[in-house]
Amino acid sequence: MAKLPKPEELSKIDLTPPKTDWMDTPVVFKEGMFCHGSKPKSLEIVDFPNPREWRPADADWKLPENWKEILLEGIADRLKKYRSFRLFMDICVRCGACADKCHFFIGTGDPKNMPVLRAELIRSVYRKEFTTAGRIFGKMAGARELTVDVLKEWWYYFYQCTECRRCSVFCPYGIDQAEITMIGRELLNLLGLNIEWIAGPVSNCYMKGNHLGLEPHTIIGNLEYMLDDIETVTGKRIKPTFNRKGAEILFVTPSGDLFADPGTYTAMGYLMLFEELGLDYTWSTYASEGGNFGFFTSNEMAKRLNSKIYAEAKRLGVKWILGGECGHMWRVLSQYMDTWNGPADFLEVPKSPITGTVFENAKSMKMVHVAEFTADLIKNNKLKLDPKRNDHLKVTWHDSCNVARGMGMLEEPRYVLKNVVNNFYEMPEDTIREKTFCCGSGTGLNASEDMDLRMKGGYPRANAVKFVAEHHGVNMLANVCAIDRATLKALMEYWVPSVGVCGLHELVANAMIMTGEKERTTDLRGEPLPSVQAKEEKA
């Protein structure tokens, strides 16, 4: 009998990567893992440096001659400006507690996606150029030279971080990779190294007031379509106002909800709620963006875009501002807006005209989250709700990263949700509230060309959704974030196709009984209501 080969000889493919130190492992750009480079026009509009045609996969990035000098000066400048940056460069002990907390590390298995290593990418250069030990001992002290390869590594990995802050929750020193990524991206922007999916919306927002570049008449046109749909469902014609001086409240929401499903249903929800309350409010076409892709670019750009909100509130003479459902928008509003563009002393402390509740928690920045606003309405019995209309839904709640870890709004939306749906199931504890997993597509990574990255990064979130879908029959993933609404839809389609995605106020509007409405037979999506379905089945 012929001698059989030993089993381990049968498979010759060795999948173990060659063992090199991470510093000596150059970055490989993998298709589906990065976004297109910024277009020159997008940078020119906002006066950003080095506008040119370039492609991230190309060897030549057409950097300015003195790129290194620019970058090192940029680092020095930011070390002086941000205690967070200087401190986070110095105090990490590399304990590894953050390593497996990152959704990108969990999904990709790429060790450079461990938050600690992502930070080391920049720390290694910091040590080389800004510390005595690094200058003297070089690589022995964990220092390395800034080269084009290092720069590319930064770009690749700082655009594989969604600034979700999950790592920061577990760090014994509170080191926040979001902060490091933000500064990393700011540095890259000094060389014109943005992605178009961010740079485009930024220039749109700067010129036209919103990321999508909707011009004033288009915004109104888009809303008209929603008003038609609302009329079909409720029999009521709503007439919202735009740029109206003297309104009590200015309403600002992410423009994504004016544009694509399922965000549009949330926007319809706002329209219906405010109509029912008889709220004296106005939309603005100039400040028609709640979100802020400038925040994913640089501190200065974020401030430039954000300035429109207070400016418009002042011009229109409103008393306070109400903000729609969004994630990063609310981190920017709660932790930055008042500092950048305040004090908003021309506004009054927000007070609900319906309940009389004064929002003391927003008494300086003067802006209230619509979930806080609605929770207060429900608590004071100001809405007639029929949660049975949502009985065809089994809902779970996705805490959006920025709202959870950059604001602390956890209970308000849950309170609203529990009052408008009968079937609500929490996902496992490790994956909600302050430990929530990111959708994997935040910070402007919600393009299409990086779909593989998005699916990997969103996997831990999807996995938890799948669990409640299998155990409780959950079929709807609700949230308060426009990026979530756009991207979780894709995520669910791949991982848990039986689950849909919706905003909180879509559910509110479905459950809310409006004065003088006709008997509703469908929800906002045009799907028959459970009661109607039951009747049809009987007949």
Partner 1 sequence: MKALVSLIAVLLLALIAYAGASVPGMRLLFGVVIPYAAFIIFVVGMVVRILKWASSPVPFRIPTTTGQQKSLPWIKHSIIESPSNGLGVIARMALEVLFFRSLFRNLKTQVGDGKQVTYGEAKWLWAAGLAFHWSFLFILVRHMRFFIEQVPAAIIMIEGLDSFLQIGAPLFYMTDAVILASVTYLFIRRIGIPQVKYISLIADYFPLFLILGIAVSGVWMRYFTKTDIVSVKILAMGLISFNPSVPETIGVMFFVHLFLLSVLFVYFPLSKLVHMAGVFMSPTRNLANNSRMKRHVNPWNYPVHVHTYEQYENDFREKMKGAGLPVEKE
Partner 2 sequence: MGLKEHLQENRSAIVNQWFETVVGTYQEETRGPLRRQNAPFTNPVGFNTLQGLEGLFEGLLKGMLPSDTSRFLDGIVRIRAVQDFPPSEALQFILQLKTVVRSKLGETAQEPAMAGELVSFESSIDDLALFAFDLYMQCRETIYDIKAKEARSMTFRLLQKAQLITENQE
Least separation, in Å, of the C-beta of 467 and partner 2? 7
Shortest distance (Å) from residue 187 CB to partner 1? 16
| Inter-residue contact 462 to 496 (CB < 8 Å) | yes
Applying CB under 8 A, among 39, 52, 94, 525 the residue interacting with partner 1 is 94
CA 503 – CA 489 distance, rounded (Å): 11
Scanning residues 246 to 305, which ones bind partner 1 (CB under 8 A)? 285-286, 299-300, 303-304
Cβ nearer to partner 2, comparing 46 with 492: 492
Outline where DSSP puts E strands in 338-433.
367-369, 395-397
243 in contact with partner 1 (CB under 8 A): yes
Cβ nearer to partner 1, comparing 298 with 446: 298
Does the footprint of partner 2 cover residue 521 (CB under 8 A)? Answer: no
- Tell me the closest approach of the beta carbon of residue 54 to partner 2, in angstroms: 23
Q: With the C-alpha atoms ordered 211, 216, 218, 223, is the resulting torsion angle positive or negative?
A: positive
Which of partner 2, partner 1, none interacts with 525 (beta carbon under 5 to 8 A by kind)?
Answer: none
Which residue from 181, 204, 255, 357 is in contact with partner 1, where contact means CB under 8 A? Answer: 357
Size of the site for partner 2 (CB under 8 A): 49
Please say which residue, 303 or 520, places its beta carbon nearer to partner 1: 303
> Which has the closest alpha carbon to 269: 216, 309, 307, 233?
233
3-class secondary-structure state, position 179: helix
Structural element, H or E, at residue 42: helix 40-45
φ, ψ of residue 25 in degrees (nearest 5): -100, 105
User: By CB under 8 A, is residue 452 in contact with partner 2?
Assistant: yes
- Give yes or no for residue 228 binding partner 2 (CB under 8 A): no
Per-residue tokens: 153: 């590594």
Beta bridge partners of 249: 281, 320
- The answer to whether 166 contacts partner 2 (rule: CB under 8 A) is no
Tell me the residue ranges of DSSP E strands in 173-265.
Answer: 249-252
| CB-based burial label for 28 (10 Å; 0-12, 13-18, 19+) | exposed
- The interface with partner 2 within residues 208-227 (CB under 8 A) comprises 218, 221-222, 225
Q: Is 434 in the site for partner 1 (CB under 8 A)?
A: yes
First-last CA distance in the chain: 74
Quick one: what does residue 225 bind among partner 1, partner 2, none, with the CB cut-off 5 to 8 Å set by partner type?
A: partner 2
Q: Tell me how crowded residue 537 is: count the other CB atoms within 10 A of its CB.
A: 7
2 binds partner 2 (CB under 8 A): no
Helical packing angle, 504-511 and 411-420, nearest 10°: 30
**What distance in Å separates the CA atoms of residue 479 and residue 395, rounded to the nearest whole number?**
10
Q: Interface with partner 1 includes 120 (CB under 8 A)?
A: yes
Asked if 415 is part of the footprint of partner 1 (rule: CB under 8 A), the reply reads yes
**Residue with smaller CB distance to partner 2, 136 or 260:** 260
What phi and psi values does residue 214 have, to the nearest 5 degrees? -75, 125
Q: Residue 450, interface with partner 1 (CB under 8 A)? A: no
HSE, CB side, 13 Å, CA atoms: give it for residue 125.
Answer: 24
Tell whether residue 69 is a contact of partner 2 (CB under 8 A).
Answer: no
What residue ranges bind partner 2 (CB under 8 A)? 1, 4, 7-8, 10-11, 13, 15-17, 19, 30, 32-33, 99-100, 105-111, 114, 218, 221-222, 225, 259-261, 264, 428, 430-431, 448, 451-452, 455-456, 459-460, 463-464, 467, 490, 493-495
